[in-house]
A and B are shown apart, each in its own frame.
Chain A
């Protein structure tokens, strides 16, 4: 036995070993603890995020787009609704037998199996869209086949129960879900709502686990439903009348606006040609998307004389029975302003005749009176007439109607520009300035309603989230466009124009019907005007004791040998006047 092994004696080497091991263990334990502290405490958030990234999924909850409704004799009927359709797609990696798969799919969709096969084989992507807008039935049939590598995703589309009715006025929703043209574009924010969000810890199949404290759910805010001022029956009949009227005169396009002069509410607005907004992607000429009644200004022609006369009466430089000597032509800035042949040569005329016989030189004479001189369209005349055009009748600026791509039109500057006298003389009979049919309708409304310019409006009310209906009240943009007496004088003169027409239009004396034709030369982009190309226009009103509807008609380039305004646009107005009186509650005169 060595001394070290003796009991009771210390064993230094053994103690040292224990101490070393103990220390080592402590160090290892401390290291482990330290590492755990680092991972669990210091790096807690980092690893928490990594773990959550695997478990958490984020979903966007789409908001339901608001519907669009229209008036139907006191009730409302839907014009635009939403429907769910399906997009068929394939992942070529998982398709085992392409030939068999595409045949089965084509049998359901009714499309070409060969096209499907080409798409799948030609694509390098793992997401090949084979068909869009499949119905719920087709969706079910394809799902039942359980084809590997084939999937369907639900997509919301707009549905149009009335097909192409009021198409340009409504616009459409494009593939990105954004409103394009018409009311869909103008009210995109109101209609679209706001998508919601769900961020949740899910199980392996993606079902959110309710117990997770990290779940975040923001409910979507659905778009608001909109009720239009449009009367469905009137809109339908207007579209029929417009199409028939254009066919009669071999015109390829035209527009009509019917507006309530006492509120600015648009009751019907139509354009031809039109399209089916549910199939907007099939349209080749995108110009057809435009609501030409608000987006396509034109030189309106002689219908402008009504407003020139109204301005002259309002300025008290003329009276309805004022007689003046008309020289039959004016020479301004080395150009001659003349009349149509039917007016005849020089002679004494009245203001009413300026409208009745559509005398250009009479309108120019009237303009000259605004400057206090005959023979010149001086600065004062130009400034005063410009004030009426731009401020009273609000030409040269958008009306603010709820439509996409509304045009401002143009009004020449009264102080700067080339051949100002001639240009302003031309504006007095609707050339050298442009306006949309809606601007004309709003301006005439303000003249015949006693002098209040209402902003034209298409939205009658909005249905709030609570279900309450928020009515949109008429917006007055200007009071005193013309004096009340002027309003009555202009009504009488326009009524006279219709009643003295030969042959006399068949309207009952119980109603007041007034109007004025316009035949406008079409401007040549290279300068000047085309020789034999004209647009026909007509502005008028229908009512009893007071005008109840204002109507503006535009016919583009009718193929007839007569004046476009009287031969093409006027018959459409007459048909519409009959339609309004017979079917749309025009109140007859009380006496």
Chain B
């Protein structure tokens, strides 16, 4: 028997064999200050890691946004170029100098006497 057991036995002199008794367990086990500190640190690290993950992820969206904006800019430039080309193809000088226009016959004016 260990020293502590012996003390425990001595502390229960009234307990006899086959006698009903209420056993009192010790209060709920609690962690000590060192364990608490370690767990707290681990949690802090976890939160920090989570924060870093999220920040990195968000920043990577920044690169995605940047890339998409560049694509958008290129597409917008292409659209503008196409609009200009279309407008130039429809320009009055080009139309009047086209091969189709050159083969046309002048129409007789209907509103005025010539």
Question: What does the 1/0 interface line of B74-114 toward A look like (CB < 8 Å)?
Answer: 00010011011001101111000000000000000111111
* CB-based contact B109/A582 at 8 Å: yes
* CB-based contact B66/A77 at 8 Å: no
Chain A: CB-nearest residue to B111: A581
Q: A83-B84, A210-B58 are in contact. Are A161 and B91 (CB under 8 A)?
A: yes
A207 on the B face (CB < 8 A): yes
Chain B: how many interface residues by the 8 Å CB criterion? 26
* CB-based contact B113/A507 at 8 Å: yes
Contact among B61, B77, B91 for A163, CB-based, below 8 A: B91
Query: With the chains together, A210 CA to B69 CA distance in Å?
Result: 13
Q: Which residues of chain B have C-beta atoms less than 8 A from A84's C-beta?
A: 77, 80
Min CB distance A270 to B, Å, is 13
Q: A81-B87, A211-B62 are in contact. Are A506 and B113 (CB under 8 A)?
A: yes
* CB-based contact B109/A211 at 8 Å: no
Indicate the member of A77, A165, A211 with the most B CB atoms within 10 Å. A211
* CB-based contact B80/A77 at 8 Å: no
Contact among B61, B92, B113 for A165, CB-based, below 8 A: B92
* CB-based contact B93/A163 at 8 Å: yes
* CB-based contact A82/B80 at 8 Å: yes
B39 on the A face (CB < 8 A): no
Q: A81-B84, A83-B80 are in contact. Are A162 and B62 (CB under 8 A)?
A: no
* CB-based contact B111/A161 at 8 Å: no
Question: What does the 1/0 interface line of A555-586 toward B look like (CB < 8 Å)?
Answer: 00000000000000000000001100110001
Question: What does the 1/0 interface line of A107-137 toward B look like (CB < 8 Å)?
Answer: 0000000000000000000000000000010
A232 on the B face (CB < 8 A): yes
B63 on the A face (CB < 8 A): yes
Query: With the chains together, A260 CA to B57 CA distance in Å?
Result: 63
B41 on the A face (CB < 8 A): no
* CB-based contact B58/A508 at 8 Å: no
Query: With the chains together, A78 CA to B84 CA distance in Å?
Result: 9
B50 on the A face (CB < 8 A): no
A159 on the B face (CB < 8 A): yes
Q: Which residues of chain A have C-beta atoms less than 8 A from B59's C-beta?
A: 209-211
Q: Which residues of chain B have C-beta atoms less than 8 A from A161's C-beta?
A: 84, 87-88, 90-91
Query: With the chains together, A81 CA to B86 CA distance in Å?
Result: 11
* CB-based contact A207/B58 at 8 Å: no
B47 on the A face (CB < 8 A): no
Q: Which residues of chain B have C-beta atoms less than 8 A from A506's C-beta?
A: 112-114
Contact among A208, A236, A511, A577 for B92, CB-based, below 8 A: A236
Q: A210-B62, A211-B55 are in contact. Are A77 and B84 (CB under 8 A)?
A: no
Q: A81-B80, A161-B84, A161-B91 are in contact. Are A508 and B62 (CB under 8 A)?
A: no
Chain A: how many interface residues by the 8 Å CB criterion? 31
Query: With the chains together, A578 CA to B108 CA distance in Å?
Result: 12
A510 on the B face (CB < 8 A): yes
Question: What does the 1/0 interface line of B43-79 toward A look like (CB < 8 Å)?
Answer: 0000000000011001101110110000000000100
Q: Which of A207-250 contact B (CB under 8 A)?
A: 207-211, 232-233, 236
Min CB distance A524 to B, Å, is 41
Min CB distance B25 to A, Å, is 46
Q: A77-B87, A83-B80 are in contact. Are A511 and B58 (CB under 8 A)?
A: no
Q: Which residues of chain B have C-beta atoms less than 8 A from A163's C-beta?
A: 91, 93
* CB-based contact A232/B92 at 8 Å: yes
Chain B: CB-nearest residue to A207: B66
Q: Which residues of chain A have C-beta atoms less than 8 A from B91's C-beta?
A: 161-163
Contact among A136, A208, A578, A581 for B62, CB-based, below 8 A: A208
Contact among B55, B65, B90, B113 for A508, CB-based, below 8 A: B113
Chain A: CB-nearest residue to B113: A506
Query: With the chains together, A78 CA to B89 CA distance in Å?
Result: 12
Question: What does the 1/0 interface line of A462-483 toward B look like (CB < 8 Å)?
Answer: 0000000000000000000000
A588 on the B face (CB < 8 A): yes
Q: Which of B16-35 contact A (CB under 8 A)?
A: none
Query: With the chains together, A207 CA to B61 CA distance in Å?
Result: 11
Q: A161-B84, A161-B87 are in contact. Are A136 and B111 (CB under 8 A)?
A: no
Sample of 14 A–B contacts (CB below 8 Å):
A81-B84, A136-B77, A159-B84, A161-B91, A162-B91, A163-B91, A207-B62, A208-B65, A210-B58, A211-B55, A211-B58, A577-B112, A582-B109, A586-B111
Measured CB to CB, the residues of A under 8 A from B are 77-78, 81-84, 136, 159, 161-163, 165, 207-211, 232-233, 236, 506-508, 510-511, 577-578, 581-582, 586, 588
Measured CB to CB, the residues of B under 8 A from A are 54-55, 58-59, 61-63, 65-66, 77, 80-81, 83-84, 87-88, 90-93, 109-114
- Other A-B contacts than A207-B66, A232-B92, 19 sampled, CB-CB below 8 A, are A77-B90, A81-B80, A81-B83, A136-B77, A136-B81, A161-B90, A162-B87, A165-B92, A207-B62, A208-B65, A209-B59, A506-B113, A507-B113, A508-B112, A511-B111, A578-B112, A582-B110, A582-B111, A586-B111
Closest 8 CB pairs of A and B: A210-B62, A161-B87, A581-B111, A211-B58, A506-B113, A582-B109, A161-B88, A236-B92
